[in-house]
Amino acid sequence: MVIILDTNIIIDHLRLKGQDSVQFSLINSHLDDSFSISPITIQELYSGASTLRKSPLSLLNQTLSELDILMYSQKVAEIAGKIMRDYHPSFADAAIAATAIHYGAHLATLNTKDFVGIPNLKILKLPYV
């Protein structure tokens, strides 16, 4: 199974420096699955002020290097546009949801309310949150 990590999962991981993070628990409980992100997540992460400091930036780069980055294509953009038109999430949430839908992946997020009602979106239940 492909699991796309929402930006908030990565932020949680960076704040906790990897230990006891949701991402750490998720990866350890889904050893046979692959973990990916949308390019939009990279944009969101690099917009944070902590990327101006060497240590947080190093941890961010290390974390991203362990994940697959799924292509944001014209088809993904079309799906995202329709999601925005019909369900009104933020640009980033629509893009991340569309990426998950297009690739048939499950979305792991700490903010399921941001994705309520989006058809064909598979949200992974996180029992340890």
- Four-residue CA torsion sign, 13, 16, 22, 28: positive
Supply the pLDDT for residue 16: 85
Supply the pLDDT for residue 77: 98
Torsion of CA 3, 32, 70, 122, to 10 degrees: -20
Query: 29: pLDDT confidence band, cut at 50, 70 and 90?
Result: confident
Supply the pLDDT for residue 54: 78
Cβ neighbours of 116 (radius 10 Å): 11
Query: Radius of gyration (Cα) for the chain, nearest Å?
Result: 14
Q: What is the pLDDT of residues 1-26, one digit of tens each?
A: 999 999 999 998 888 876 778 888 88
User: CATH homologous superfamily of domain 2-123?
Assistant: 5'-nuclease (3.40.50.1010)
Mean pLDDT of 36-58: 87
pTM metric for this prediction: 0.89
Supply the pLDDT for residue 25: 82
What share of the chain has pLDDT > 70, as a percent? 96
Q: Using CA atoms, how far apart are residues 38 and 46, in angstroms rounded to an integer?
A: 13
Q: What is the pLDDT of residues 92-126, one digit of tens each?
A: 999 999 999 999 999 999 999 999 999 999 999 88
CB 4 within 8 A of CB 70: yes
Supply the pLDDT for residue 94: 98
Q: What is the mean pLDDT of the chain?
A: 91
